């Protein structure tokens, strides 16, 4: 909500992707007809208004069942101090002009908005719990995780090893410059013996109205650049990354790496090298596993897949990496079958497994190439 009229505007409304963490695996609130759970957030400081609407509700006296206590379930997530009526909320909205982003400005960028016909400015800040008012703001901000990250949990904000990176949109209202929350990322700084740290991305969320505009890539690249400048950082990783996060990371890391000398087309065609591992780690804080993916994506760009020899060389190179887990599984199965099956059956079963594994390997390869091509298409448009 930026303006009072947004309260009645369905265009400013967005729905949760998940509700199982609040309403159980079935994602059902029992006992209501026409139930609407309405949460309003002021765009900048995220002051909250909460209300419930329904046309009818089961009655314990007549229906012998009790409706779910929806209000209590929501109150467990949103911090106390929220509004319950419109007037209080609108009076808070009038004070929004005083809201300013927390922490240190790291990056400013703009995105062209077709609808508005103009460039809109965004800024990325790094904050911590010492910033006045940030603790309370973060309590409101993290409530979005429950609706948009499948396995979300709230973090221990008293642990000083957390860093917070925030994205805001700058906009004008009655001649004043205001800020709207776009998204954020939390990063935990793990200790690595003897004197290094390994920042690990924990949670990342771009709010639905801003998704698909490139903010995730801007945020991840800014965070990488922030840690790259630190001599004490070993490399940057992520905790339990989703499929979408991996695709985003592929794009950002390839964008960062493509100009390194070790990833020149000539060197890419010679195969994955220790030089790539060293340079990516030292200059960009990228670990060996992620560097290997970057190499495969950039080598695909440098490879003429219409050339039979180049195509075969690329396919074998990637499959050699992919086959590792299959070979390990094959060795384990062989050991088990020596103990459990007659010898003549073992060879036959192993052969069936091998055929199946070849199919799975080819399928994995084709899927990977498809993902890599999407990264290269996005890179070409960047």
* Token pair for 214: 């490139």
Pairing of strands 118-127, 56-57: unpaired
Residue 141 sits in the same domain as residue 253: yes
Instruction: Output the domain CATH number for residue 190.
Output: 3.40.630.30
Pairing of strands 176-192, 56-57: unpaired
Domain boundary among 74, 97, 120: 97
Q: Kindly calculate the radius of gyration of the chain based on its CA atoms and give it in whole angstroms.
A: 26
- Identify whether 329 is part of a domain: yes
Residue 158 sits in the same domain as residue 35: no
Q: Residue 149 and residue 145: Cα distance in Å, rounded?
A: 5
243 is catalytic: no
Alpha helices for the chain (secondary structure H): 20-23, 60-63, 70-75, 86-94, 134-141, 145-148, 215-228, 243-257, 265-268, 274-284, 288-302, 308-340, 343-381
Please provide the size of the chain in residues: 382
Q: Residue 37 and residue 234: Cα distance in Å, rounded?
A: 45
- Identify whether 265 is part of a domain: yes
Please give the average pLDDT of every successive group of 10 residues along the chain, which has 382 residues. 92 93 92 94 96 89 82 93 93 95 97 88 97 96 94 91 97 93 97 95 96 96 96 94 95 97 96 97 96 98 96 95 72 63 55 69 94 97 88
pLDDT of the residue at 191: 95
Residue 81 sits in the same domain as residue 191: no
Pairing of strands 237-238, 196-206: parallel
Domain boundary among 62, 77, 97: 97
Residue 64 sits in the same domain as residue 196: no
Q: What are phi and psi of 62, to 5 degrees?
A: -100, -35
* Residue 134 structural domain: 99-300
Residue 132 sits in the same domain as residue 241: yes
Please pick, among 118, 239, 362, 377, the residue that the annotation labels catalytic.
Answer: 239
Largest Cα–Cα distance of the chain, in whole Å? 84
pLDDT of the residue at 357: 73
Q: Residue 123 and residue 345: Cα distance in Å, rounded?
A: 65
Residue 197 sits in the same domain as residue 103: yes
- Identify whether 310 is part of a domain: no
Total domains present in the chain = 3
Residue 124 sits in the same domain as residue 154: yes
Residue 262 sits in the same domain as residue 126: yes
pLDDT of the residue at 115: 81
pTM, whole model, 2 decimals? 0.90
pLDDT of the residue at 328: 64
Residue 148 sits in the same domain as residue 281: yes
Which H/E stretch holds residue 104? strand 104-113
* Token pair for 227: 């840690």
- Identify whether 246 is part of a domain: yes
């Amino acid at each position: 909500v930026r303006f009072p009229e947004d309260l009645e505007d369905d265009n400013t409304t967005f729905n949760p992707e998940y509700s199982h963490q609040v309403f159980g695996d079935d994602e059902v609130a029992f006992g209501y007809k026409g139930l609407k759970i309405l949460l309003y957030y002021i765009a900048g400081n995220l002051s909250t208004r909460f209300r419930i609407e329904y046309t009818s509700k089961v009655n314990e006296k007549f229906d012998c069942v009790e409706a779910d206590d929806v209000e209590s379930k929501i109150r467990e997530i949103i911090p106390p101090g929220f509004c319950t009526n419109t007037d209080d909320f609108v009076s808070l909205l009038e004070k929004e002009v005083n809201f300013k982003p927390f922490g240190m400005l790291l990056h400013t960028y703009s995105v062209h908005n077709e609808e508005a016909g103009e460039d809109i400015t965004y800024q990325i800040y790094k904050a911590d719990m010492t910033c006045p008012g940030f603790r309370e703001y973060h309590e409101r901000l993290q409530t979005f995780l429950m609706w948009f990250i499948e396995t979300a949990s709230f973090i221990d904000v008293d642990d000083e090893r957390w860093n917070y990176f925030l994205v805001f949109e700058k906009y004008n209202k009655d001649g004043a410059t205001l800020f709207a929350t776009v998204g954020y990322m939390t990063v935990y700084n793990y200790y690595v013996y003897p004197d290094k740290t390994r920042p690990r991305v924990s949670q990342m969320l771009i709010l639905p109205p801003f998704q698909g505009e490139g903010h995730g890539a801007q945020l991840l690249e800014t965070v990488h650049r922030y840690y790259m400048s630190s001599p004490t950082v070993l490399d940057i990783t992520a905790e339990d990354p989703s499929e979408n996060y991996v695709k985003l990371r592929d794009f950002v890391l390839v964008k960062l790496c493509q100009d390194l000398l070790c990833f020149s087309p000539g060197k890419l065609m010679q195969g994955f090298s220790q030089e790539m591992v060293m340079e990516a780690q030292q200059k960009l804080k990228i670990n060996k596993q992620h560097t290997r993916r970057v190499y495969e994506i950039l080598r695909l760009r440098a490879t003429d897949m219409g050339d039979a020899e180049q195509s075969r060389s690329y396919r074998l190179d990637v499959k050699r990496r992919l086959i590792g887990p299959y070979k390990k599984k094959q060795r384990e199965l062989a050991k088990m079958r020596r103990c459990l099956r007659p010898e003549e059956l073992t060879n036959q079963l192993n052969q069936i497994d091998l055929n199946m594994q070849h199919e799975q390997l080819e399928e994995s390869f084709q899927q990977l190439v498809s993902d890599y091509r999407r990264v290269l298409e996005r890179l070409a448009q960047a």
